[in-house]
Chains A and B, each alone.
Chain A
Amino acid sequence: MTAPVFSAVLGRDLRLAARRRVDALLPLAFFAVAVSLFPLGVGPEPNTLRQIAPGVLWVCALLAAMLSVTQLFAADQADGSLEQMMLASGAGSASALSVAIAKAVSHWLLTGLPLLVVAPLFGVMFDLSGRSIAALCASLALGTPILSLLGSLGAALTLGVRNGGVLLILLIVPLCIPALIFGSGAVSAVESGASARGHFSLLGALFIATALLAPLATAAALRIATE
């Protein structure tokens, strides 16, 4: 990994998002709308809502991440800047890896972090207890980076492909299932008074494994796509 490429790509993505604020907030709006559908569809019974809240919030976070990640590399590939980034500093493979990591980090900062901020609000709307809301935030803090890392892998694999968005969901959601299970499981465990330690440990292990392997795979996918 080369630090200049990393910071240049990350800084550029954040600046672009700051100039187009509405675009950057769309995933958050999707999350809010999707979560609000459940009480309307399932019915406003507080006990039911409390039971389904961890799963609903986690599934919506996952979908928000998957829907927003499709455009991660698309614009840069369309105007040719992606190839230039990959070629930067002449160190081919190191550069691809820096781009992959920078893009995943920028996606998390722009969608994962805002989600983390609004999640407690929705926890309250679903009548979760304070301890459950804390567990929800902790599980999202560990889990949304996994979603961003795997999502950027999917975005690189489906770069320039017909129906890329739908395809990305088919490819990446199966890989996100463990994070979903342990993430929502942690909240459910706290909600039912059990210890969430095991869930958090597994989620942390998943995060470490994904952080180590997903950028390498994303870099390989980028090289295949821009070859």
Chain B
Amino acid sequence: MTRPMLANLRLFTFASPPRFYVLAGRLVPWLWVVAAVLAGAGLWVGFFQAPTDATQGDAYRIIFIHVPAAWMSMLLYMVMAFWAAIGWAFNARLASMVARAIAPTGAMFTFAALWSGALWGKPTWGTWWVWDARLTSELILLFLYLGYMALVNAIDDTRRADQAGALLAVIGSVNVPIIYFSVKWWNTLHQGATISATTAPKMVATMLTAMLLMTLACWAYGFAVVFTRTRAIIAERERDAKWLNGVSS
């Protein structure tokens, strides 16, 4: 299986569910290892190396979970909408399956961002929740994820479910820029971005290191979970196909 696969490697080689199934199966254990190592390193730097914040005390350390989770929640929605649209436009089966596999992980990260934000908000803002523009739009993002999952699960015909889900995901992607720019457009309670690609970061290097390590850990975790779930969806949809019996899970 390996040799012909490498010899005939093309752009769309892994768009075939059987090949992707094998590739993802091989990658998943490594992704878990990478995620665990990076998360361990990130948490160690974040909790033991980074200095205590002058104004927020130790409560600020929640950002090492909160910011990566919030980034992932927005990024995963865009990735989900992208693959869903590709699956719809080009009838690419695997793209639709990947989109469907991303949704629960995206919803999980959105919930984690909201929950960790609430835990951070209580000691620093003195309240669990405010109806601030960014918090509200992040909550809407959670509803969009839930709506997508509910819609694709409610339609029994998989092709129709994938297409309808793609349409909804594309419409909902309007919300992501709104979340991203909400703190600039409406000057409400949530602070603006501390890190940007164009200016020097306004935080200590160790804090930045910890946050970047945690972000990479979240990426690895996201890939691992999405690949595992995609494999499950492939196995479910192709249960009658011959190739599946020849592959060890």
Contacts and interface: CB of A to CB of B under 8 A. Distances in A.
A217 B88 CA distance: 14
A78 interface: no
A141 B149 CA distance: 33
Interface string B186-220: 00000000000000000000000000000000000
A224 B167 contact: yes
Given A170-B147, A174-B147, A158 B171 contact: no
A221 interface: yes
B171 A167 contact: no
A113 B92 CA distance: 44
Interface in B106-156: 136, 140, 143-144, 146-147, 150-151, 154-155
Nearest to A220: B167
B163 interface: yes
A227 B167 contact: no
Q: Determine chain A's interface SS by DSSP, over half rule.
A: helix
A171 B145 CA distance: 9
Contact of A161 (B147, B155, B172): B155
B99 to A, nearest CB: 15
A225 B164 contact: yes
B163 A224 contact: yes
B140 A171 contact: no
Contacts of B136: 177
A177 B146 contact: no
A227 B172 CA distance: 23
Nearest to A171: B147
A163 interface: yes
B164 to A, nearest CB: 5
A163 to B, nearest CB: 7
Contacts of A224: 160, 163-164, 167
Nearest to A166: B150
B151 A167 contact: yes
Contacts of A158: 151, 154
B97 interface: no
A167 B164 contact: no
Contact of B140 (A157, A164, A174, A217): A174
A78 B168 CA distance: 23
B188 to A, nearest CB: 13
B154 A171 contact: no
B186 to A, nearest CB: 11
Interface in B162-180: 163-164, 167-168, 171-172, 175
Given A157-B167, A157-B168, A221-B164, A167 B143 contact: no
B156 to A, nearest CB: 8
A157 B144 CA distance: 14
Interface in A190-227: 217, 220-221, 224-225, 227
Q: Which of A157, A162, A217, A221 has the most CB of B within 10 A?
A: A157
Interface in A147-184: 153, 157-158, 161-164, 167, 170-171, 173-175, 177
Contacts of A163: 154
Contact of A174 (B143, B151, B160, B167): B143
Given A161-B154, A171-B147, 12 more contacts: A157-B168, A161-B151, A161-B155, A163-B154, A167-B154, A170-B150, A171-B150, A173-B143, A174-B143, A174-B147, A174-B175, A177-B136
Interface of B: 136, 140, 143-144, 146-147, 150-151, 154-155, 160, 163-164, 167-168, 171-172, 175
22 contacts: A157-B164, A157-B167, A158-B151, A161-B151, A161-B154, A167-B147, A167-B151, A167-B154, A170-B143, A170-B146, A170-B150, A171-B147, A174-B143, A174-B172, A174-B175, A175-B172, A177-B140, A217-B171, A221-B164, A224-B164, A225-B160, A227-B160
